[in-house]
Amino acid sequence: MNGFPNVDPIPLPAPIWLFKLLHIVTLSLHFVAMQVLVGGLLIAVLLNLLGRSASTNTAASAIARRLTIVMTYVINLGVPPLLFAQVLYGRAIYTSSVMIGARWIAVIPLLILAYWLLYRFAAGLEAGGKVWWIGGIAWSVIAAIAHIYSMNMTLMLRPEVWPGMYSASSLGTHLPQGDPTTIPRFLFMLVSGFVAAGLWMVYLGGRKSFSATDGKFLAGLGGRIAAVAAIVQVIAAFAVYRSQPAVVQTGLNDHLIYKIAGLGWLALTAVLLLFAVFAAFTKPANAIASWLAVLIGALPIVLMTLYRDGIRDLTLLSKGYDVWDRVVVTNWSVVGVFLVVFVAGLAVVGWLISVVARATRVMESAA
């Protein structure tokens, strides 16, 4: 007995490697949006609370207004990776979701509340008010949602605590105790938010919708935030690694793909740090710097997601759950149709982002 429910007798309709690839791609996109939201919201709150200049007010308002759109991508891009995770890790993640059932269900009303608060915060900033406290509440609600997800994704790796939790509360109100990885993983994601949001500000600073002064302020401040946060992020990443069991650390070091992902993440983070310093202390923002910020910000998140996937697989394997040990009966016609629709969907999402960006630029120019 390893604590996991029995394997579903229905075979998987596509290769496991394809499900994992799709999971990592969609989860990376979700992490990009989520980190921009978490970091950007707190930056806007602090700018509204502490700022006095016109550029500060413009930056806070511009960030908050866009975060209502970012929130839609956080939600919609979060659904596909969760579905792929249920296919690959259903026996683990379904059970852990039941173990924290009350909190897991609470995610929906919390999302609705956070969405409403974001709109109130953005409207208050547009009116020129000191509404940092609304943004602070919104950030707290979003951080609570992130903590619930972090708790669930960690709990799915701990079948040994499930019986005790269910005995203590069949409603899912009893929290897991004694796991050393939960807090480091949660803090790493929060710190990563400042890196992503800082680079996002560099991107915004190079857009034509801002004056030269406001664009330079956005890019400069974003570069400084990203640079400092990148250093803290490396420390947090090391804390996450050190909090893993010895068998997982050994597996990460011995597996070629995970080793490349980890070292690649460190290398790209170093490049990110240099770029952030460049954006903060050199020439004004421009279009080239904007798109470099997007690229340099997204690539480390992809490698981080791959490394995170390794931590999960190796931890589960040490508990007797081999994600690769499944019966597969591939229906290639269905897989082909799905991939065509999937790629088309990503293209539509990219087109929608470009439409929103152009519309925002026109509205700000008119204002």
Length in residues, the chain: 367
Are 65 and 127 a contacting pair, CB within 8 Å?
A: no
pTM: 0.91
Are 226 and 198 a contacting pair, CB within 8 Å?
A: yes
Mean pLDDT rounded to a whole number for the chain: 89
Are 145 and 110 a contacting pair, CB within 8 Å?
A: yes
Cα separations in angstroms, 321 against 21, 100, 164, 256, 318: 19, 21, 20, 21, 7
Distance CA 156, CA 249 (A): 19
How confident is the model at residue 1, as a pLDDT?
47
Q: Which residue has the tokens 């852990």?
A: 96
User: How do residues 284-335 score in pLDDT, each as one tens digit?
Assistant: 566 677 788 888 999 999 999 999 999 999 999 999 999 999 899 988 888 8
Q: Is residue 3 part of a domain?
A: no
User: How do residues 80-100 score in pLDDT, each as one tens digit?
Assistant: 999 999 999 999 999 999 888
Structure tokens at 355: 């439409």
Distance CA 226, CA 309 (A): 25
Distance CA 154, CA 157 (A): 6
Angle at 313 between CA 183 and CA 160, to 5 degrees: 65
Task: Spell out the residues 6+ positions from residue 131 whose beta carbon is closer than 8 angstroms to its own.
Answer: 48, 120, 121, 124, 125
Q: Is residue 186 part of a domain?
A: yes
By residue range, what is the domain housing residue 171? 16-337
Q: Is residue 242 part of a domain?
A: yes
Q: Which residue has the tokens 């939600």?
A: 75
Q: For the purposes of burial, counting CB atoms within 10 Å of the CB of 49, is it exposed (0-12), middle (13-18) or buried (19 or more)?
A: middle
Please tell me the total count of domains within the chain: 1
Distance separating the N- and C-terminal Cα atoms of the chain: 65
Q: How confident is the model at residue 221 (pLDDT cuts 50, 70, 90)?
A: very high
Q: Does residue 269 have a pLDDT over 60?
A: yes
Directed axis angle between helix 212-243 and helix 246-254, to 10°? 120
Q: Is residue 361 part of a domain?
A: no
**Which of 197, 196, 214 minimizes the C-alpha distance to 205?**
214
Distance CA 210, CA 3 (A): 56
Distance CA 211, CA 136 (A): 28
Q: Is residue 363 part of a domain?
A: no
Distance CA 361, CA 125 (A): 18
Q: Is residue 347 part of a domain?
A: no
Task: Spell out the residues 6+ positions from residue 15 whose beta carbon is closer than 8 angstroms to its own.
Answer: 328, 330
Q: Does residue 16 have a pLDDT over 80?
A: yes
Q: Average the pLDDT over 335-342 and give the result.
A: 90
Q: Is residue 7 part of a domain?
A: no
Q: Is residue 55 part of a domain?
A: yes
